[in-house]
Structure 1
Amino acid sequence: MRRSSSLADRLFWPIVAGGAASLWVGPKALAVAGLVVLGLVMHRLGRGGRFRRRVRAIARRHRETLALRRRQESYVDPYGNEILDGWLRERSYFAERTLLPRLEAEGYGDLVEARWDEILDIVEAASLSVAAPDEAAALPEDGIAYERYCAALLEQAGWDARTTKAAGDQGADVVAERDGLRLVVQCKRYAKPVGNGAVQEVVAARSYWGADCAAVVSNAGFTPAARKLAAATDVLLLHHDSLAALGTRPGGRPPR
Protein backbone atom coordinates (compact mmCIF):
# COMPACT_ATOMS: atom_id res chain seq x y z
CA MET A 1 0.00 0.00 0.00
CA ARG A 2 1.46 3.36 -1.02
CA ARG A 3 2.02 5.82 1.84
CA SER A 4 1.89 9.58 1.48
CA SER A 5 4.71 11.63 2.95
CA SER A 6 4.20 12.86 6.50
CA LEU A 7 3.53 16.48 7.37
CA ALA A 8 7.02 16.76 8.90
CA ASP A 9 8.54 15.54 5.63
CA ARG A 10 6.60 18.13 3.67
CA LEU A 11 7.55 20.99 6.01
CA PHE A 12 11.24 20.19 6.41
CA TRP A 13 12.63 21.57 3.15
CA PRO A 14 10.44 24.71 2.97
CA ILE A 15 11.59 25.61 6.48
CA VAL A 16 15.25 24.90 5.70
CA ALA A 17 15.07 26.76 2.38
CA GLY A 18 13.27 29.71 3.94
CA GLY A 19 15.76 29.94 6.79
CA ALA A 20 18.72 29.80 4.46
CA ALA A 21 17.20 32.33 2.07
CA SER A 22 16.48 34.73 4.92
CA LEU A 23 20.22 34.94 5.63
CA TRP A 24 20.74 36.28 2.12
CA VAL A 25 17.51 38.06 1.22
CA GLY A 26 16.15 39.02 4.60
CA PRO A 27 12.80 38.70 6.39
CA LYS A 28 10.79 38.63 3.14
CA ALA A 29 12.13 35.18 2.26
CA LEU A 30 11.28 33.93 5.72
CA ALA A 31 7.74 35.30 5.33
CA VAL A 32 7.35 33.51 1.99
CA ALA A 33 8.55 30.27 3.60
CA GLY A 34 6.04 30.82 6.39
CA LEU A 35 3.22 31.16 3.90
CA VAL A 36 4.31 27.95 2.17
CA VAL A 37 4.37 26.15 5.52
CA LEU A 38 0.93 27.52 6.40
CA GLY A 39 -0.43 26.36 3.04
CA LEU A 40 0.94 22.87 3.58
CA VAL A 41 -0.53 22.72 7.09
CA MET A 42 -3.96 23.82 5.88
CA HIS A 43 -3.82 21.33 2.99
CA ARG A 44 -2.91 18.54 5.39
CA LEU A 45 -5.62 19.45 7.89
CA GLY A 46 -8.25 19.26 5.13
CA ARG A 47 -7.08 15.89 3.86
CA GLY A 48 -9.44 13.87 6.04
CA GLY A 49 -12.44 15.78 4.70
CA ARG A 50 -11.30 15.27 1.11
CA PHE A 51 -10.84 11.56 1.83
CA ARG A 52 -14.41 11.24 3.14
CA ARG A 53 -15.84 13.17 0.19
CA ARG A 54 -13.98 10.92 -2.24
CA VAL A 55 -15.26 7.75 -0.58
CA ARG A 56 -18.82 9.12 -0.64
CA ALA A 57 -18.53 10.09 -4.32
CA ILE A 58 -17.38 6.61 -5.35
CA ALA A 59 -20.00 4.87 -3.20
CA ARG A 60 -22.79 7.12 -4.55
CA ARG A 61 -21.93 6.13 -8.12
CA HIS A 62 -22.68 2.51 -7.16
CA ARG A 63 -25.60 3.13 -4.79
CA GLU A 64 -28.21 1.43 -6.99
CA THR A 65 -26.14 -1.75 -7.18
CA LEU A 66 -25.25 -1.58 -3.49
CA ALA A 67 -28.93 -1.23 -2.56
CA LEU A 68 -29.82 -4.23 -4.72
CA ARG A 69 -27.01 -6.33 -3.28
CA ARG A 70 -28.08 -5.41 0.24
CA ARG A 71 -31.58 -6.72 -0.49
CA GLN A 72 -30.18 -9.84 -2.14
CA GLU A 73 -27.80 -10.68 0.67
CA SER A 74 -30.12 -10.02 3.64
CA TYR A 75 -33.06 -11.98 4.97
CA VAL A 76 -35.25 -12.34 8.04
CA ASP A 77 -34.98 -15.66 9.86
CA PRO A 78 -37.95 -17.58 11.33
CA TYR A 79 -37.39 -15.76 14.65
CA GLY A 80 -37.76 -12.33 13.09
CA ASN A 81 -34.05 -11.48 13.18
CA GLU A 82 -32.57 -9.62 10.23
CA ILE A 83 -29.56 -11.64 9.06
CA LEU A 84 -26.97 -9.46 7.34
CA ASP A 85 -24.00 -11.84 7.18
CA GLY A 86 -24.01 -12.04 3.38
CA TRP A 87 -24.41 -8.28 3.02
CA LEU A 88 -21.53 -7.57 5.40
CA ARG A 89 -19.28 -9.78 3.28
CA GLU A 90 -20.49 -7.99 0.12
CA ARG A 91 -19.90 -4.58 1.71
CA SER A 92 -16.31 -5.48 2.59
CA TYR A 93 -15.79 -6.90 -0.89
CA PHE A 94 -16.92 -3.62 -2.48
CA ALA A 95 -14.64 -1.61 -0.19
CA GLU A 96 -11.62 -3.83 -0.87
CA ARG A 97 -12.05 -4.31 -4.62
CA THR A 98 -13.61 -1.01 -5.73
CA LEU A 99 -12.76 1.66 -3.18
CA LEU A 100 -9.30 0.65 -1.99
CA PRO A 101 -7.51 0.61 -5.37
CA ARG A 102 -8.88 4.04 -6.26
CA LEU A 103 -8.02 5.55 -2.89
CA GLU A 104 -4.48 4.20 -3.10
CA ALA A 105 -4.08 5.51 -6.64
CA GLU A 106 -5.17 8.97 -5.47
CA GLY A 107 -2.70 9.05 -2.58
CA TYR A 108 -5.02 8.18 0.32
CA GLY A 109 -3.69 4.68 0.96
CA ASP A 110 -2.18 5.63 4.32
CA LEU A 111 -5.62 6.64 5.67
CA VAL A 112 -7.50 3.48 4.76
CA GLU A 113 -6.57 1.22 7.67
CA ALA A 114 -7.29 3.80 10.38
CA ARG A 115 -10.58 4.81 8.73
CA TRP A 116 -11.80 1.39 7.61
CA ASP A 117 -14.91 1.48 9.84
CA GLU A 118 -15.72 4.95 8.50
CA ILE A 119 -15.42 3.64 4.93
CA LEU A 120 -17.83 0.79 5.70
CA ASP A 121 -20.28 3.22 7.30
CA ILE A 122 -20.24 5.37 4.16
CA VAL A 123 -20.88 2.31 1.97
CA GLU A 124 -23.73 1.30 4.28
CA ALA A 125 -25.27 4.76 4.02
CA ALA A 126 -25.03 4.62 0.21
CA SER A 127 -26.80 1.23 0.15
CA LEU A 128 -29.64 2.65 2.25
CA SER A 129 -30.01 5.86 0.23
CA VAL A 130 -32.10 4.13 -2.45
CA ALA A 131 -35.71 3.38 -1.52
CA ALA A 132 -36.48 -0.33 -1.63
CA PRO A 133 -39.56 -1.53 -3.52
CA ASP A 134 -42.58 -2.43 -1.42
CA GLU A 135 -42.06 -6.16 -1.67
CA ALA A 136 -44.36 -6.92 1.21
CA ALA A 137 -47.31 -5.87 -0.92
CA ALA A 138 -46.11 -7.21 -4.27
CA LEU A 139 -44.18 -10.41 -3.60
CA PRO A 140 -46.22 -13.63 -3.72
CA GLU A 141 -46.15 -15.78 -0.62
CA ASP A 142 -46.23 -19.27 -2.16
CA GLY A 143 -43.77 -20.91 -4.51
CA ILE A 144 -46.06 -21.43 -7.52
CA ALA A 145 -47.17 -17.80 -7.50
CA TYR A 146 -43.55 -16.73 -7.15
CA GLU A 147 -42.68 -18.69 -10.31
CA ARG A 148 -45.43 -16.85 -12.21
CA TYR A 149 -44.16 -13.57 -10.75
CA CYS A 150 -40.64 -14.26 -12.05
CA ALA A 151 -41.98 -15.26 -15.46
CA ALA A 152 -43.91 -11.98 -15.65
CA LEU A 153 -40.75 -10.01 -14.84
CA LEU A 154 -38.93 -11.79 -17.65
CA GLU A 155 -41.80 -10.92 -19.99
CA GLN A 156 -41.28 -7.26 -19.08
CA ALA A 157 -37.65 -7.63 -20.16
CA GLY A 158 -38.71 -8.92 -23.58
CA TRP A 159 -38.44 -12.67 -23.00
CA ASP A 160 -41.10 -15.16 -24.07
CA ALA A 161 -41.40 -16.83 -20.67
CA ARG A 162 -43.62 -19.63 -19.40
CA THR A 163 -43.81 -21.62 -16.21
CA THR A 164 -43.42 -25.38 -16.43
CA LYS A 165 -45.59 -28.08 -14.96
CA ALA A 166 -44.67 -29.14 -11.45
CA ALA A 167 -44.18 -32.72 -12.60
CA GLY A 168 -41.51 -33.45 -15.19
CA ASP A 169 -39.90 -30.02 -15.20
CA GLN A 170 -36.50 -31.59 -14.43
CA GLY A 171 -35.45 -28.62 -12.29
CA ALA A 172 -36.78 -25.76 -14.44
CA ASP A 173 -39.59 -23.65 -13.01
CA VAL A 174 -39.52 -21.14 -15.88
CA VAL A 175 -38.33 -21.52 -19.46
CA ALA A 176 -37.74 -18.28 -21.36
CA GLU A 177 -36.61 -17.54 -24.90
CA ARG A 178 -35.35 -14.39 -26.56
CA ASP A 179 -33.29 -13.65 -29.68
CA GLY A 180 -32.78 -17.35 -30.29
CA LEU A 181 -31.62 -18.07 -26.74
CA ARG A 182 -33.21 -20.33 -24.19
CA LEU A 183 -32.94 -19.68 -20.46
CA VAL A 184 -34.04 -22.07 -17.72
CA VAL A 185 -34.77 -20.70 -14.25
CA GLN A 186 -35.18 -22.17 -10.79
CA CYS A 187 -37.33 -19.90 -8.61
CA LYS A 188 -36.85 -20.00 -4.83
CA ARG A 189 -39.13 -17.99 -2.55
CA TYR A 190 -37.15 -18.56 0.64
CA ALA A 191 -36.69 -17.10 4.10
CA LYS A 192 -33.00 -18.05 4.09
CA PRO A 193 -30.12 -18.18 1.59
CA VAL A 194 -30.50 -20.70 -1.21
CA GLY A 195 -28.08 -23.64 -1.11
CA ASN A 196 -26.21 -25.45 -3.86
CA GLY A 197 -28.99 -28.01 -4.35
CA ALA A 198 -30.86 -25.46 -6.47
CA VAL A 199 -27.75 -24.93 -8.58
CA GLN A 200 -27.41 -28.67 -9.16
CA GLU A 201 -31.04 -28.90 -10.24
CA VAL A 202 -30.85 -26.04 -12.71
CA VAL A 203 -27.65 -27.46 -14.23
CA ALA A 204 -29.58 -30.67 -14.93
CA ALA A 205 -32.49 -28.61 -16.30
CA ARG A 206 -30.18 -26.75 -18.68
CA SER A 207 -29.11 -30.05 -20.21
CA TYR A 208 -32.64 -31.52 -20.27
CA TRP A 209 -34.19 -28.46 -21.94
CA GLY A 210 -31.25 -27.85 -24.28
CA ALA A 211 -30.91 -24.34 -22.85
CA ASP A 212 -28.12 -21.90 -23.55
CA CYS A 213 -28.02 -20.57 -20.00
CA ALA A 214 -29.41 -21.23 -16.55
CA ALA A 215 -30.24 -19.15 -13.49
CA VAL A 216 -31.46 -19.51 -9.93
CA VAL A 217 -33.68 -16.62 -8.86
CA SER A 218 -34.54 -15.89 -5.24
CA ASN A 219 -35.84 -13.18 -2.97
CA ALA A 220 -33.06 -14.10 -0.51
CA GLY A 221 -29.33 -14.49 -0.94
CA PHE A 222 -27.22 -17.53 -1.72
CA THR A 223 -24.89 -19.58 0.43
CA PRO A 224 -21.12 -19.51 -0.22
CA ALA A 225 -21.38 -23.14 -1.40
CA ALA A 226 -24.05 -22.17 -3.93
CA ARG A 227 -21.92 -19.29 -5.22
CA LYS A 228 -18.89 -21.53 -5.60
CA LEU A 229 -20.82 -24.18 -7.50
CA ALA A 230 -22.57 -21.57 -9.67
CA ALA A 231 -19.23 -20.06 -10.67
CA ALA A 232 -17.90 -23.51 -11.59
CA THR A 233 -21.00 -24.48 -13.63
CA ASP A 234 -21.71 -21.09 -15.27
CA VAL A 235 -25.07 -20.58 -13.54
CA LEU A 236 -26.45 -17.11 -12.86
CA LEU A 237 -27.56 -16.33 -9.29
CA LEU A 238 -30.08 -13.49 -9.39
CA HIS A 239 -32.45 -11.55 -7.20
CA HIS A 240 -35.88 -11.18 -8.82
CA ASP A 241 -35.33 -7.39 -8.94
CA SER A 242 -32.78 -8.06 -11.70
CA LEU A 243 -35.21 -9.86 -14.00
CA ALA A 244 -37.15 -6.90 -15.36
CA ALA A 245 -33.95 -5.55 -16.93
CA LEU A 246 -32.36 -8.87 -17.90
CA GLY A 247 -31.11 -8.57 -21.46
CA THR A 248 -28.59 -10.42 -23.60
CA ARG A 249 -24.99 -9.66 -24.36
CA PRO A 250 -23.52 -9.72 -27.82
CA GLY A 251 -22.79 -13.38 -28.27
CA GLY A 252 -25.98 -14.42 -26.61
CA ARG A 253 -25.35 -14.60 -22.87
CA PRO A 254 -27.51 -12.86 -20.27
CA PRO A 255 -25.37 -10.50 -18.24
CA ARG A 256 -24.18 -11.57 -14.83
Structure 2
Amino acid sequence: MSGQPHIVGRLFWTSVIGGGLGLWYGRPAFALTALALAAILIWALDRPRRFRKRVRGIARRHARTLALRRRQESFVDPYGNLIEDGWLRERDYFVERTILPEIEARGFADYAEPHWDAMVAIVEAVAAAVILPDAAEAPEDGIAYEQFCAARLTAAGWRAHATQASGDQGADIVAERDRVRLVVQCKRYAKPVGNAAVQEVAAACRYWSGDMAAVVSNAGFTPAARKLAAATGVALLHHDDLDDLHPMRQVPGRGRAAAPPA
Protein backbone atom coordinates (compact mmCIF):
# COMPACT_ATOMS: atom_id res chain seq x y z
CA MET A 1 0.00 0.00 0.00
CA SER A 2 1.40 3.38 -0.95
CA GLY A 3 2.06 6.11 1.60
CA GLN A 4 -0.60 8.57 0.41
CA PRO A 5 -3.64 6.22 0.67
CA HIS A 6 -2.27 5.09 4.03
CA ILE A 7 -2.34 8.70 5.33
CA VAL A 8 -5.76 9.33 3.80
CA GLY A 9 -7.08 6.23 5.54
CA ARG A 10 -5.75 7.38 8.90
CA LEU A 11 -7.33 10.81 8.47
CA PHE A 12 -10.63 9.29 7.40
CA TRP A 13 -10.97 6.82 10.24
CA THR A 14 -9.76 9.34 12.82
CA SER A 15 -12.44 11.77 11.60
CA VAL A 16 -15.15 9.11 11.64
CA ILE A 17 -14.30 7.78 15.07
CA GLY A 18 -13.61 11.23 16.51
CA GLY A 19 -16.81 12.62 15.04
CA GLY A 20 -18.80 9.83 16.58
CA LEU A 21 -17.20 10.40 19.97
CA GLY A 22 -17.78 14.13 19.56
CA LEU A 23 -21.49 13.62 19.08
CA TRP A 24 -21.56 11.63 22.29
CA TYR A 25 -19.07 13.54 24.51
CA GLY A 26 -19.24 17.00 22.97
CA ARG A 27 -16.49 19.60 22.65
CA PRO A 28 -13.67 17.73 24.48
CA ALA A 29 -13.93 14.83 22.03
CA PHE A 30 -14.01 17.18 19.04
CA ALA A 31 -10.90 18.97 20.38
CA LEU A 32 -9.02 15.71 20.83
CA THR A 33 -10.02 14.64 17.34
CA ALA A 34 -8.67 17.89 15.92
CA LEU A 35 -5.37 17.36 17.77
CA ALA A 36 -5.14 13.80 16.46
CA LEU A 37 -5.74 14.95 12.88
CA ALA A 38 -3.09 17.66 13.26
CA ALA A 39 -0.58 15.11 14.60
CA ILE A 40 -1.23 12.80 11.63
CA LEU A 41 -0.72 15.67 9.17
CA ILE A 42 2.52 16.77 10.86
CA TRP A 43 3.79 13.18 10.81
CA ALA A 44 2.93 12.90 7.10
CA LEU A 45 4.58 16.22 6.21
CA ASP A 46 7.73 15.22 8.11
CA ARG A 47 7.99 11.87 6.32
CA PRO A 48 10.33 13.06 3.51
CA ARG A 49 12.79 14.43 6.08
CA ARG A 50 12.73 11.15 8.01
CA PHE A 51 13.28 9.25 4.78
CA ARG A 52 16.36 11.31 3.87
CA LYS A 53 17.70 11.00 7.40
CA ARG A 54 17.33 7.21 7.26
CA VAL A 55 19.11 6.94 3.90
CA ARG A 56 21.90 9.25 5.07
CA GLY A 57 22.36 7.20 8.24
CA ILE A 58 22.73 3.97 6.27
CA ALA A 59 25.23 5.54 3.89
CA ARG A 60 27.29 7.02 6.73
CA ARG A 61 27.69 3.59 8.32
CA HIS A 62 29.57 2.59 5.15
CA ALA A 63 31.09 5.99 4.40
CA ARG A 64 34.77 5.01 4.26
CA THR A 65 34.12 1.91 2.17
CA LEU A 66 32.01 3.97 -0.23
CA ALA A 67 34.74 6.61 -0.46
CA LEU A 68 37.36 3.97 -1.23
CA ARG A 69 35.18 2.35 -3.87
CA ARG A 70 34.53 5.78 -5.38
CA ARG A 71 38.28 6.29 -5.71
CA GLN A 72 38.99 2.77 -6.92
CA GLU A 73 36.30 2.71 -9.58
CA SER A 74 37.13 6.11 -11.14
CA PHE A 75 40.08 6.85 -13.38
CA VAL A 76 41.28 9.27 -16.04
CA ASP A 77 41.64 7.73 -19.50
CA PRO A 78 44.52 8.52 -21.91
CA TYR A 79 42.43 11.35 -23.37
CA GLY A 80 42.01 13.12 -20.05
CA ASN A 81 38.37 12.07 -19.52
CA LEU A 82 37.22 11.10 -16.02
CA ILE A 83 35.70 7.63 -16.31
CA GLU A 84 33.31 6.80 -13.47
CA ASP A 85 31.36 3.91 -14.98
CA GLY A 86 32.55 1.46 -12.33
CA TRP A 87 31.66 3.82 -9.49
CA LEU A 88 28.22 4.52 -10.91
CA ARG A 89 27.52 0.78 -11.02
CA GLU A 90 28.86 0.36 -7.48
CA ARG A 91 26.75 3.27 -6.21
CA ASP A 92 23.55 1.84 -7.72
CA TYR A 93 24.41 -1.59 -6.34
CA PHE A 94 24.80 -0.15 -2.84
CA VAL A 95 21.44 1.62 -3.04
CA GLU A 96 19.68 -1.48 -4.35
CA ARG A 97 21.23 -4.08 -2.05
CA THR A 98 21.95 -2.14 1.14
CA ILE A 99 19.63 0.86 1.37
CA LEU A 100 16.41 -0.42 -0.19
CA PRO A 101 15.91 -3.46 2.08
CA GLU A 102 16.29 -1.31 5.20
CA ILE A 103 14.06 1.55 4.17
CA GLU A 104 11.40 -0.91 3.00
CA ALA A 105 11.52 -2.58 6.41
CA ARG A 106 11.10 0.86 7.99
CA GLY A 107 7.89 1.62 6.12
CA PHE A 108 9.25 3.58 3.16
CA ALA A 109 8.62 1.00 0.44
CA ASP A 110 6.55 3.52 -1.53
CA TYR A 111 9.52 5.90 -1.64
CA ALA A 112 11.92 3.51 -3.39
CA GLU A 113 11.12 4.16 -7.04
CA PRO A 114 10.11 7.86 -7.02
CA HIS A 115 13.04 8.83 -4.77
CA TRP A 116 15.78 6.75 -6.40
CA ASP A 117 17.68 9.83 -7.60
CA ALA A 118 17.52 11.34 -4.12
CA MET A 119 19.03 8.19 -2.59
CA VAL A 120 21.80 8.14 -5.20
CA ALA A 121 22.56 11.81 -4.54
CA ILE A 122 22.81 11.18 -0.78
CA VAL A 123 25.23 8.26 -1.29
CA GLU A 124 27.35 10.39 -3.63
CA ALA A 125 27.50 13.22 -1.10
CA VAL A 126 28.44 10.90 1.77
CA ALA A 127 31.21 9.22 -0.26
CA ALA A 128 32.58 12.55 -1.46
CA ALA A 129 32.69 13.98 2.08
CA VAL A 130 35.19 11.39 3.36
CA ILE A 131 38.80 12.56 3.38
CA LEU A 132 41.04 9.71 2.24
CA PRO A 133 44.84 9.53 2.28
CA ASP A 134 46.41 11.19 -0.73
CA ALA A 135 46.38 8.74 -3.63
CA ALA A 136 49.42 10.45 -5.10
CA GLU A 137 51.60 9.02 -2.33
CA ALA A 138 51.61 5.65 -4.09
CA PRO A 139 54.68 5.37 -6.36
CA GLU A 140 54.05 5.17 -10.09
CA ASP A 141 56.93 2.76 -10.75
CA GLY A 142 55.83 -0.87 -10.57
CA ILE A 143 58.71 -2.14 -8.39
CA ALA A 144 58.43 0.86 -6.07
CA TYR A 145 54.68 0.27 -5.81
CA GLU A 146 55.29 -3.33 -4.73
CA GLN A 147 57.68 -2.13 -2.02
CA PHE A 148 55.15 0.51 -1.00
CA CYS A 149 52.44 -2.16 -0.55
CA ALA A 150 54.85 -4.43 1.33
CA ALA A 151 55.62 -1.56 3.71
CA ARG A 152 51.88 -0.98 4.29
CA LEU A 153 51.45 -4.66 5.16
CA THR A 154 54.44 -4.56 7.50
CA ALA A 155 53.00 -1.54 9.29
CA ALA A 156 49.75 -3.52 9.68
CA GLY A 157 51.55 -6.36 11.48
CA TRP A 158 52.44 -8.68 8.61
CA ARG A 159 55.92 -10.04 7.92
CA ALA A 160 56.00 -9.02 4.27
CA HIS A 161 58.67 -9.13 1.59
CA ALA A 162 58.66 -8.46 -2.13
CA THR A 163 59.59 -11.48 -4.26
CA GLN A 164 62.30 -11.55 -6.90
CA ALA A 165 61.32 -10.21 -10.32
CA SER A 166 61.94 -13.62 -11.90
CA GLY A 167 60.63 -16.92 -10.65
CA ASP A 168 57.86 -15.36 -8.55
CA GLN A 169 55.15 -17.26 -10.47
CA GLY A 170 52.85 -14.23 -10.37
CA ALA A 171 53.44 -13.22 -6.75
CA ASP A 172 54.85 -9.76 -6.04
CA ILE A 173 54.59 -9.98 -2.24
CA VAL A 174 54.45 -12.88 0.19
CA ALA A 175 53.39 -11.97 3.73
CA GLU A 176 52.64 -13.93 6.91
CA ARG A 177 50.73 -13.15 10.06
CA ASP A 178 49.24 -15.46 12.71
CA ARG A 179 50.41 -18.49 10.70
CA VAL A 180 48.45 -17.33 7.65
CA ARG A 181 50.32 -16.79 4.39
CA LEU A 182 49.14 -14.05 2.03
CA VAL A 183 50.18 -13.92 -1.62
CA VAL A 184 49.77 -10.56 -3.37
CA GLN A 185 50.03 -9.27 -6.89
CA CYS A 186 50.37 -5.46 -7.19
CA LYS A 187 49.06 -3.43 -10.11
CA ARG A 188 49.82 0.29 -10.40
CA TYR A 189 47.45 1.08 -13.26
CA ALA A 190 45.66 4.03 -14.80
CA LYS A 191 42.61 1.89 -15.58
CA PRO A 192 40.69 -0.98 -13.94
CA VAL A 193 42.55 -4.25 -13.54
CA GLY A 194 41.29 -7.20 -15.58
CA ASN A 195 40.80 -10.86 -14.71
CA ALA A 196 44.27 -11.94 -15.90
CA ALA A 197 45.71 -10.64 -12.61
CA VAL A 198 43.14 -12.70 -10.67
CA GLN A 199 44.10 -15.85 -12.56
CA GLU A 200 47.81 -15.22 -11.99
CA VAL A 201 47.60 -14.58 -8.26
CA ALA A 202 45.30 -17.58 -7.74
CA ALA A 203 47.94 -19.77 -9.40
CA ALA A 204 50.73 -18.06 -7.45
CA CYS A 205 48.91 -18.71 -4.19
CA ARG A 206 48.90 -22.43 -4.90
CA TYR A 207 52.58 -22.32 -5.87
CA TRP A 208 53.51 -20.51 -2.64
CA SER A 209 51.17 -22.69 -0.50
CA GLY A 210 49.27 -19.59 0.49
CA ASP A 211 46.12 -19.28 2.60
CA MET A 212 44.99 -15.96 1.13
CA ALA A 213 45.45 -14.30 -2.25
CA ALA A 214 44.88 -10.69 -3.23
CA VAL A 215 45.32 -8.30 -6.11
CA VAL A 216 46.17 -4.80 -4.87
CA SER A 217 45.75 -1.80 -7.12
CA ASN A 218 45.41 1.94 -7.02
CA ALA A 219 42.70 1.62 -9.68
CA GLY A 220 39.48 -0.38 -9.68
CA PHE A 221 38.68 -3.75 -11.18
CA THR A 222 36.65 -4.77 -14.19
CA PRO A 223 33.32 -6.63 -13.74
CA ALA A 224 34.99 -9.74 -15.21
CA ALA A 225 37.76 -9.52 -12.60
CA ARG A 226 35.24 -9.17 -9.79
CA LYS A 227 33.24 -12.14 -11.01
CA LEU A 228 36.32 -14.33 -11.26
CA ALA A 229 37.59 -13.16 -7.87
CA ALA A 230 34.29 -14.13 -6.24
CA ALA A 231 34.56 -17.60 -7.78
CA THR A 232 38.23 -18.18 -6.91
CA GLY A 233 38.45 -16.63 -3.44
CA VAL A 234 40.81 -13.82 -4.43
CA ALA A 235 40.46 -10.50 -2.58
CA LEU A 236 40.48 -7.35 -4.70
CA LEU A 237 41.93 -4.49 -2.67
CA HIS A 238 42.96 -0.88 -2.88
CA HIS A 239 46.33 -0.26 -1.23
CA ASP A 240 44.54 1.75 1.49
CA ASP A 241 42.81 -1.50 2.50
CA LEU A 242 46.17 -3.00 3.51
CA ASP A 243 46.27 -0.93 6.71
CA ASP A 244 43.36 -2.96 8.14
CA LEU A 245 43.82 -6.30 6.42
CA HIS A 246 43.48 -9.22 8.83
CA PRO A 247 44.42 -12.87 8.30
CA MET A 248 41.75 -15.15 6.87
CA ARG A 249 42.47 -18.78 6.05
CA GLN A 250 40.85 -18.85 2.61
CA VAL A 251 42.63 -20.80 -0.11
CA PRO A 252 41.66 -19.48 -3.57
CA GLY A 253 39.32 -21.77 -5.45
CA ARG A 254 37.86 -23.32 -2.27
CA GLY A 255 35.17 -20.87 -1.29
CA ARG A 256 34.01 -17.31 -1.42
CA ALA A 257 36.42 -14.44 -1.86
CA ALA A 258 38.10 -12.93 1.13
CA ALA A 259 36.46 -9.53 1.56
CA PRO A 260 38.32 -6.25 2.08
CA PRO A 261 37.81 -4.58 5.46
CA ALA A 262 34.66 -2.54 5.83
TM-score class, shorter: over 0.9
Aligned CA RMSD, in angstroms, stands at 1.7
The residue number in structure 2 matching 1:228 is 227
Aligned length: 253
Are 1:73 and 1:86, in contact at CA under 8 Å, matched by a contact in 2? Answer: yes
Letter paired with 2:36: V
The residue number in structure 1 matching 2:98 is 98
- The percentage of aligned residue pairs carrying the same residue is 61
- Aligned residue runs from structure 1 range 1-256, under 5 A: 3-4=2-3, 6-136=6-136, 138-249=137-248, 256=260
Are 2:205 and 2:213, in contact at CA under 8 Å, matched by a contact in 1? Answer: yes
SS in 2 for 1:132: coil
Letter paired with 2:152: L
Letter paired with 1:6: H
Q: Which digits, 9 at most, give the CA deviation of each residue in 1:7-57, with x for residues without a partner?
A: 211111111112222332223322221221111111101111111111112
In 2, the alpha carbon distance for the partners of 1:53 and 1:6 equals 21
In 2, the alpha carbon distance for the partners of 1:15 and 1:188 equals 67
In 2, the alpha carbon distance for the partners of 1:7 and 1:255 equals 43
Letter paired with 2:142: G
Q: 5+ residue gaps in structure 1?
A: none
Are 2:190 and 2:219, in contact at CA under 8 Å, matched by a contact in 1? Answer: yes
Residue 255 of structure 1 deviates from its aligned partner by 5.0
Are 1:185 and 1:214, in contact at CA under 8 Å, matched by a contact in 2? Answer: yes
Are 1:7 and 1:44, in contact at CA under 8 Å, matched by a contact in 2? Answer: yes
In 2, the alpha carbon distance for the partners of 1:44 and 1:255 equals 41
Moved more, 108-117 or 26-35: 26-35
Residue 181 of structure 1 deviates from its aligned partner by 1.7
Are 1:51 and 1:108, in contact at CA under 8 Å, matched by a contact in 2? Answer: yes
SS in 2 for 1:169: coil
The residue number in structure 1 matching 2:254 is none
In 2, the alpha carbon distance for the partners of 1:149 and 1:196 equals 23
Q: Which digits, 9 at most, give the CA deviation of each residue in 1:94-132, with x for residues without a partner?
A: 111211111111111111211110111111111011112
In 2, the alpha carbon distance for the partners of 1:255 and 1:21 equals 60
Are 2:158 and 2:175, in contact at CA under 8 Å, matched by a contact in 1? Answer: yes
Residue 160 of structure 1 deviates from its aligned partner by 1.1
Q: Which digits, 9 at most, give the CA deviation of each residue in 1:145-164, with x for residues without a partner?
A: 11111111111111111111
In 2, the alpha carbon distance for the partners of 1:66 and 1:105 equals 22
In 1, the alpha carbon distance for the partners of 2:8 and 2:141 equals 65
What TM-score do you get using the length of structure 1 for normalisation? 0.93
Residue 168 of structure 1 deviates from its aligned partner by 1.2
Letter paired with 2:138: L
Are 2:15 and 2:37, in contact at CA under 8 Å, matched by a contact in 1? Answer: yes
In 2, the alpha carbon distance for the partners of 1:123 and 1:50 equals 16
SS in 2 for 1:247: coil
SS in 2 for 1:56: helix
In 2, the alpha carbon distance for the partners of 1:113 and 1:180 equals 49
In 2, the alpha carbon distance for the partners of 1:16 and 1:72 equals 58
Moved more, 101-110 or 29-38: 29-38
Letter paired with 1:199: V
Structure 1 residue ranges, 4+ long, deviating more than 3 angstroms after superposition: 2-5, 251-256
Are 1:248 and 1:255, in contact at CA under 8 Å, matched by a contact in 2? Answer: no
In 2, the alpha carbon distance for the partners of 1:232 and 1:14 equals 56
Moved more, 79-88 or 26-35: 26-35
